[in-house]
Copies of this chain bind each other. A is one copy, B any other.
């Protein structure tokens, strides 16, 4: 299974606080805990050629992880369209934190994906709503993050196919923090935590969830549906 971790990779180069938390970038931090025998994990970033996603990479990718924040507009529409088509054709997509405002997530959701936010070093607690779901495997009743950015409802998304986590924030808000969606032949998982100034991706529970999600969103091997003008089928049960 080929996993690509995509990162905007700008904060880390300009903000010393972020560089201190993620010296090699958020993408390398995520890639490092995902690596294992059954996974070929690589990274791609905004400022690489074709944002690090040329066709020979993108078409071989089984699962794409996306972290972006302040430069969503710099992602070319052509790459967005290709990623979108890959999802409809079966590639798994994990969208993290501020990726809620990425072009590709908004295009797949069909809504504004807007929300409330506040950076105030608040405690976050992600409660598990669906204890039967493989993405919550190995997680206790909740994940606690000592300090995070707040995201609050209303989160303008379609009702998730499955709602796995709901966040509580110290400052009084709640948020749908773990949401699954199916689009075409592809599966999507949105996972809220991960503001760049906090060590969220170093937290073992957060790593467990993302690793679980990689397995959950991976493509199903099957023939793709056929669309368009169709011939009539045989409709009568015969005497073979």
User: What residues of chain A have their CB less than 8 Å away from a CB belonging to chain B?
Assistant: 88, 90, 107-112, 114-118, 120-123, 125, 127-134, 136-141, 146-147, 150, 152-154, 156, 158-159, 161-163, 166-174, 176, 181-187, 220-238, 240
Is A237 within 8 A of B146, CB to CB?
yes
Residue ID in chain B nearest A152 by CB atoms: B230
Q: Apart from A152-B230, A167-B174, what 7 extra A-B contacts exist at CB < 8 Å?
A: A116-B229, A118-B232, A131-B224, A131-B225, A132-B185, A166-B166, A170-B235
Closest 9 CB pairs of A and B: A172-B233, A154-B225, A123-B237, A114-B227, A110-B110, A116-B230, A171-B232, A108-B110, A127-B153
Partner of A220, one of B134, B141, B221: B134
**Given B225, B233, B238, which contacts A156 in the complex, CB threshold below 8 Å?**
B225
Return the contact of A130 from the options B138, B159, B166, B237 (Cβ within 8 A).
B159
**Residue contact A127 to B141, C-beta cutoff 8 Å:** no
CA A147 to CA B236, docked complex, whole Å: 10
Give the chain B neighbours of A158 by CB distance below 8 A: 110, 158, 161, 181-183
Please give the distance in Å from A159's CB to the nearest CB on chain B.
Answer: 6
Q: How far is the CA of A42 from the CA of B126 in the complex (A)?
A: 39
A220 and B131 form a contact (CB under 8 A):
yes
Give CA–CA (A231, B150) in the complex, Å. 11
Q: A182 and B168: CB pair below 8 A?
A: no
